[in-house]
Amino acid sequence: MSWRWSVVLLAAGGVGANLVLWLGGERTFVTHPVSVLALALATTGATWLAGRVPAPVHGWLVALASSLAALVLLGAWASATPTPLAAGLWSVAWVPVNALLAVVGLSLAGLERWARTLAVGTAVATLAGAFLVRPVVPFAGIETAAPEAWTHVVPYVAEVLLAAWNLALVAATVAVALRARRASVVDRGRLARAAAVTSCAPCLVVCCYALAVLRSPGDVDPTAGSVAYTVAIGMLAALVAWAASSPDRVAVRVIAFTWAAAAVVLLSVGIAGPTVERQLTLGIVAVAVVTVGVLAATAAGLARYEHWSHAPAPRPVTAGVPGLSPRENDVLAAMAGGATNAAIAGELFLSERTVEQHLRSIFDKLDLGDHGGSNRRVRAAATWWQHQDSDRAAEA
């Protein structure tokens, strides 16, 4: 039996066990059919899409699918046998799933060492959390996701670990985004997609906080909020698997609008909500401003992603000039083609000041000082074309 069928069968067993518990009267958000089916579908999708990507991303997608299946199974175990051990393990089972969203993105960006470090750190934090937090009355009389349902064995340690882990997720997203910004024009579309994938990890945390403010100060039923959070886990896991396995831009757009929806809810209810209670008109205006601002930021981000994802214009280039960075070779190639600084900036999505900095670095590295009255741009372009001619001759 292949690993794919093993993961799918594990998820199917968890679905069956949870549905039996639901029909038997154990009706919590953990056994809710919507929660269970969302996780099971995400498991199946991630398992199938993992076969479409090479290593090492393949291995991380397999781990993501397996962790989703484990979340379903642990939910059934904790519901059927509500012991501190079962409920404790279930309570931290979402942590590996959340972290693996970022790990997949880091691996897709080529930051494999970062991916492994985050995975190991998450495993340690998960095991620590399972023993540092104990349920008061698991799955009985109180929503298990509510803070009052748990006690901390050692005060503040779990909070510190959680804060450090959240910062790690944000740092991972920023690292991949910066890598995309500095990358060659050939690579930055893929790296921008990797940044979107990595951002799904902090996005899930933001979704959690957004649903929390809907519960308080909002008045949404806690069970409905917990079911929605479980659905968000499955949806973002499926989006990560889709975006990691395909250059299709639709997945990235859905990720962007998921961010927008969570941000609008969090800001509108958490910040503008109290204003609505005091002054209805002012509160409505505040919600409208928040919504327009978030959507504008989302549109700007997607516009940059679309620009980065366009295939670069064909150039008569076989290889870069040795000693120059990929971005410097892009700038030099455009300049050798006759582009002005403004045109280079527009083509490479840079500021003119950044282009000037790249050109100064190119001139220094090529040792093109001002002498003899010759133009450094002309001599740099000549160096570029001479290198292309020598490469063609070597290939012939």
Contact between 55 and 27 (Cβ < 8 Å): no
Q: pLDDT at position 61, please?
A: 95
CB atoms inside a 10 Å sphere around CB 175: 18
148 pLDDT higher than 60:
no
Instruction: Identify the pLDDT of residue 138.
Output: 45
Contacts of 244 (CB under 8 A, 6+ apart): 49, 53, 57, 61, 104, 105, 108, 197
Tell me the two tokens of residue 108: 């897709």
Q: How many CB atoms lie within 10 A of CB 298?
A: 19
3-state secondary structure of 128: helix
The model carries a pTM of: 0.75
pLDDT (0 to 100) of residue 200: 94
Q: Is 9 helix (H, G, I), strand (E, B) or coil?
A: helix
pLDDT for residue 111: 92
Over the stretch 348-366, which tens digit does the pLDDT of each residue have? 777 888 899 999 999 888 8
What is the Cα–Cα distance from 4 to 43, expressed in whole angstroms?
A: 10
CB 355 within 8 A of CB 340: no
Residue 226 has pLDDT above 60, yes or no: yes
- CA pair distance 312, 139, nearest whole angstrom: 55
Helix, strand, coil distribution of the chain in percent, nearest 5: 75, 0, 20
Contact 220, 214 (CB under 8 A): yes
CA 187 to chain centre: 18
Contact between 222 and 215 (Cβ < 8 Å): yes
Quick check: 1 pLDDT over 80? Answer: no
Distance CA 162, CA 124 (A): 12
More confident residue, 150 or 79: 79
Q: How many CB atoms lie within 10 A of CB 32?
A: 21
Q: Would you state the pLDDT for residue 312? A: 53
Calpha distance 158→152 (Å, rounded): 7
**pLDDT > 70 in the chain, percent:** 80
Residue-wise DSSP of 130-148: HHHEEESSTTSSS-TTSGG
Count of residues in the chain: 396
**Measured distance CA(253)–CA(299) in Å, rounded:** 10
What share of the chain has pLDDT > 90, as a percent?
A: 29
Q: What's the confidence (pLDDT) of residue 207?
A: 87
> How, if at all, do strands 150-152 and 133-135 pair?
antiparallel
Averaged confidence pLDDT in the chain = 81
Reported as a pLDDT band with limits 50, 70 and 90, residue 145 is very low
The per-residue pLDDT for 311 is 54
With a cut of 70, say whether residue 276 has pLDDT above it.
no
CA-nearest of 161, 193, 152, 190 to 95 is: 161
* CB neighbour burial string for 130-159, b if at least 16 within 10 angstroms, e if fewer: bebbbbeebbeeebbbeeebbeeeeeeebe
DSSP 19-71: HHHHHTT--STTT-HHHHHHHHHHHHHHHHHHTTS-TTHHHHHHHHHHHHHHH
- Please compute the mean of the pLDDT values over residues 203-220 and round it to a whole number: 76
Of 32, 45, 36, 35, give the one whose Cα is nearest residue 12. Answer: 36
The pLDDT assigned to 257 comes to 92
Q: pLDDT band at residue 186, thresholds of 50, 70 and 90?
A: low
Beta strand residue intervals within 58-178, DSSP E = 133-135, 150-152
According to the model, what pLDDT value does residue 350 have? 79
Cα–Cα distance, 252 to 196 (Å, whole number): 6
Determine the Cα–Cα distance for residues 205 and 170; give it in Å rounded to an integer: 10
pLDDT, tens digit, 9 for 90 and up, residues 278-293: 665 665 666 677 778 8
pLDDT of residue 372: 45
pLDDT, mean of residues 186-209: 88
- Residues with Cβ within 8 Å of 12's Cβ and at least 6 positions away in sequence, in order, are 40
Mean of pLDDT values over 91-103: 92
